[in-house]
Structure 1
Amino acid sequence: MLLLPRLKLVAKVVLKTILGLIAFVLLYLLAAYGLSRITIHKEANTKAEVAIYILTNGVHTDIVVPIKTAQYNWSSEVPFANTLAKDTTYNYLAMGWGDKGFYLETPAWKDLKASVAFKAAFGLSTTAIHATFYKTITTSSSCRQIMISNEQYLRLVNYITNSFQKDRNGHFINIATNAVYGKSDAFYEANGSYSMLHTCNTWANNALKASGQTCCLWTPFDTGIFNKYTISKP
């Protein structure tokens, strides 16, 4: 007779846990939708001097910059030699920040492990920056050009470089791995902790915020950012 009350108690606990998780997910999605719709507008009266880009693979946002300008030469800290191609003729560098375990252990969604997802969601693992070289960049539904001033670009450079971990000599720390996605990319140790509240897209959104560009108040998803940069219909 004692078994039935215990089973009822367990059932209630399980039900409350499930309902709690559902409520949390709904609240998270509601906050993501609402806060991403609040726009922080770009700084007014600035010059269009440097072209940068935002690039998405449908989930993750990269910030794309010219490899060399008067403000900064990215190849000095993200050398071409760290890629399989070792090609020095690239013109652009795309950088994205994210969970290190996800980057290195999940080449495709089918390879995602529950342990990796859990650690990433709750900020329990380290982070990395994925750097990919491109020879050309073409604007499209997944790529937007943003013109910014030299001063704003310098602020963007500072934001991104501060996201890299550095060795005792102040140089970015390359991650020696075979888990690269192609011949033109490499991984680097990063600062910060990835979580549901601070995702790869939050990082990219904050990069735009730091450089005075149109962005979301907060967003964990790429759609929040790209909704601010829709292509105008003719």
Structure 2
Amino acid sequence: MKQYLVKLISGVLALLVAGCSTKPYIIKPAENISSEKPNKIYVVGHDWHTGFIIPANRIQRLVPGLAERFGNADFLELGWGDKGFYLSGEMTAGLVLRAIFWPTDSVMHVVAVSDNVHRFFPGSEIEPVYLSDEEYASLLKYISNSFYRNKKGEIIKLEKGLYGNSQFYAGEGDYFLMNTCNKWTAKGLRSAGMGIGTTFSLTADSVMNYLQAQNKSQAPRVYIHGN
């Protein structure tokens, strides 16, 4: 009986996953990548959730709607997640279970960030990431592909965001057990040529621990522009 239940549950989960969209997909970086890494971005961890902090003008070139909304912002924090969970602004058992076990719509959360990202997020964990031009372009394309677009190719504005000068937008792909907000960040890092595994990168700790280990193993960098 126990084996039957395990097989039944496994079969149901397999059917659910098969019917889900795992977009946005990882972008394969260019094969000939420069060893120079002049581009500095950040990954930020807010307890259970992670996202990217990127110079605003770079992502706005690919997503003009962000330039219209955020103007001359220094940086933009971008995160992807479950629509119902994100828009509610609070964590409840029902929302958590539904988000994990049932495919739901996704959203992008975008926040204008000042030029001092550590001061802007004093209580959050922040790790720098240095990228070549090719790696950076691949990551930006991945993030751009994370926005759902209408037939005119425009991103779709939803509600005001959770904090500061922020906004929700319709996201691309379904949120479910194997396609979480932290896996989205991990897929972005893979798109940027990093070796993080994505299958089990389902928690904020798994993403931030990987970046901490990477930064500890690399020689100190001298970075003039930015933080």
- Both structures adopt the same fold (TM-score exceeding 0.5): yes
Against the structure 1 CA distance between its residues 151 and 72, is the aligned structure 2 distance closer, same or farther, given a 3 Å change threshold? farther
Q: Does the 8 Å CA contact 1:77/1:171 hold for their aligned counterparts?
A: yes
2:125 paired with 1:145:
no
Determine if the alignment matches structure 1 residue 124 to structure 2 residue 103. yes
Aligned to 1:227: 209
Give identity over the alignment, percent.
24
Match of 1:46 in 2: 35
**1:170 alignment partner in structure 2:** 153
Q: CA deviation at 1:163?
A: 1.2
Q: Which has the larger radius of gyration?
A: 1
Distance of 1:184 and 1:214 partners within structure 2: 33
Inter-CA distance 162–89: structure 2 relative to 1 (3 Å threshold): closer
CA RMSD across the alignment: 3.2
Is 1:181–2:184 an aligned residue pair?
no
Which structure 2 residues correspond to residues 1-234 of structure 1 after superposition, within 5 A? 46-69=35-58, 73=61, 76-79=64-67, 81=69, 88-105=71-88, 107-109=89-91, 112=92, 114=94, 116-136=95-115, 137-138=117-118, 142-175=125-158, 177-178=159-160, 180-218=161-199, 219-230=201-212, 232=216
> Structure 1 55/190 Cα, relative in aligned 2: closer, same or farther at 3 Å?
same
Number of residue-to-residue matches in the alignment: 188
Amino acid at match of 2:111: T
Deviates more, 1:157-166 or 1:45-54: 45-54
Structure 1 unaligned segments of length 5 or more: list them.
Answer: 1-12, 25-41
- Cα separation, 1, equivalents of 2:150 and 2:207: 32
Provide the rounded CA distance (Å) in 2 between the counterparts of 1:55 and 1:46.
Answer: 25
CA deviation string 1:117-164 (max 9, x = no partner): 333112332110111110122398710111101111111111111111
Cα distance in 1 for partners of 2:46, 2:62 equals 22
Structure 1 Cα separation of the partners of residues 53 and 113 of structure 2: 9
Distance 1:97 1:187 in 2: 10
Q: Is the CA contact (8 Å cut-off) linking 1:94 and 1:131 kept in structure 2?
A: yes
In 2 relative to 1, CA 75–196 (structure 1 residues): closer, same or farther, beyond 3 Å? closer
Distance between the aligned counterparts of 1:75 and 1:194, measured in 2?
22
Whole-angstrom distance in 1 between the partners of 2:135 and 2:96: 35
CA shift for structure 1 position 187 = 0.4
SS of the residue 2:108 aligns to: strand
* Residue identity opposite 2:102 in structure 1: G
Tell me: CA distance 1:187–1:193, structure 2 relative to 1, closer, same or farther (3 Å).
same
Query: 1:142-196, CA deviations, whole angstroms, 9 ceiling, x for partnerless residues?
Result: 1011110111111111111111100111111111x25x31231100101111111
Mapped to 1, the partners of 2:63 and 2:150 lie a distance apart of 17
Equivalent position of 2:225 in the other structure: none
How far did 1:221 drift?
A: 0.6
Report the TM-score when normalising by structure 2. 0.71
Point out where structure 2 has 5 or more consecutive residues left out of the alignment. Answer: 11-28, 221-227
**Partners in 2 of 1:93 and 1:143 — Cα distance?**
14
